[in-house]
Amino acid sequence: MKRLTILVLVIAAVYSGYWFLGTQTVKDAALNGIASAQQDGWQIDYSDLSMVGFPSRFDTTVTDVSVSPPDGLWSWQAPFLQVFALSYQPNNVIVAFPPTQSLRVGDETLQITAKELRASAGVYANTDLSLKAVTVEAGSSAVASGLGWIVKWDRALLALRDTPGAERSYDFYIDADQIGLPNGFAARIDAEDQLTDTIAGITVDGRVVLDQQLDRHAIEPLAEVIELTSFVLDWGQISVSAKGEVQIDSAGIPEGRITFKTVQWPILIDLAERSGLIDPGIVPTVTNLANAMAGDGGTLEVPISFQSGFMSLGPLPLGPAPRVR
């Protein structure tokens, strides 16, 4: 019994030493990362950085934190930021954000309030710390601008993971419910009240290929390919689904095809005209073509093609293609 007690004490001492060594290693890595970013011109300020969690976790809390990039185009401030990791699996973390935070973009300041805003992320155990997966979830939230507008949602989820067997390729998933738009937003593009100031739901499932791997060396990655496996939007009187793929050149011009499917296509044509997406002069032609292409039950399945900087509805040109970047 005495030997067993001694063995337990030795194991406890060794593990305690491991935890304290691991804690110091994680803390040093965080401080070195902050110092390196500051040397690169980032403005990072905080009042305290502490770690707890013995014996099974490394829990880091940064208080009164503010971050701004070298160009100063934006800045983020929060009363605290917490990062949790299991001591035996430090390459997987959970990040907890405070209920309130602020983001300045240019001259505009956004006040963000969110319930249970959390992110989980995992990286591979290699020297580059290549991204394995990241998930961001939020409950009832709101983003209020100093310019007077506000956007709300009941629930939102964003997930990204590396595509198995493919380099620089990532599967993504977006899901959000009851998205409250700024007051009067729908009315500005829809004088007939066919839309509402609340989007009932939006779901996006797809894949993106970037110009670089997402790892600790990545700097401003840009999309080269965007593939929509599924896109579903329910907004007011319209419900639209889509799928397709586009490739994006260095100038941000898409090339490819996205096929849309909807029953409420007359409403969409009207909205496209009001928003300036299609020229009023070709609206009758677009309407006649859509009516001829609509299948049983009035469902229209139509491809929007992007080619040589222009987009078209089947053989009918619609105008210049929007730049993605």
Residues 36, 43 contacting (CB under 8 angstroms)? no
Digit-coded pLDDT (tens) for 148-176: 899 999 999 999 999 998 999 999 999 99
Q: Which residue has the higher pLDDT, 72 or 174?
A: 174
The number of beta carbons lying within 10 Å of the beta carbon of residue 186 is: 20
Packing angle of the helix pair 283-293, 265-274 (nearest 10 deg)? 160
Residues 53, 27 contacting (CB under 8 angstroms)? no
Residue 179's beta-bridge partner residues?
Answer: 199
How many Å separate Cα 132 from the centre of its chain? 16
Using pLDDT thresholds of 50, 70 and 90, give the confidence band for residue 11: very low
Percent of the chain's residues with pLDDT above 70 = 87
Digit-coded pLDDT (tens) for 171-184: 999 999 999 998 87
The owner of tokens 């030997």 is: 3
- The pLDDT assigned to 159 comes to 97
The number of beta carbons lying within 10 Å of the beta carbon of residue 167 is: 9
Q: What is the mean pLDDT of residues 250-279?
A: 86
Residue 213's beta-bridge partner residues?
Answer: none
Q: What is the mean pLDDT of residues 293-305?
A: 82
Q: Print the SS3 string covering 27-55.
A: HHHHHHHHHHHHHCCCEEECCEEEEECCC
CA distance 204 to 25: 39
Residues 304, 287 contacting (CB under 8 angstroms)? no
**Cis bond before residue 98 (omega within 30° of 0):** no
The pTM of this model reads 0.81
Q: What is the mean pLDDT of residues 14-25?
A: 47
CA distance 156 to 177: 7
Give the tokens for residue 245: 């793929």
Q: What is the mean pLDDT of residues 44-48?
A: 91
Residues 150, 126 contacting (CB under 8 angstroms)? no
- The pLDDT assigned to 29 comes to 65
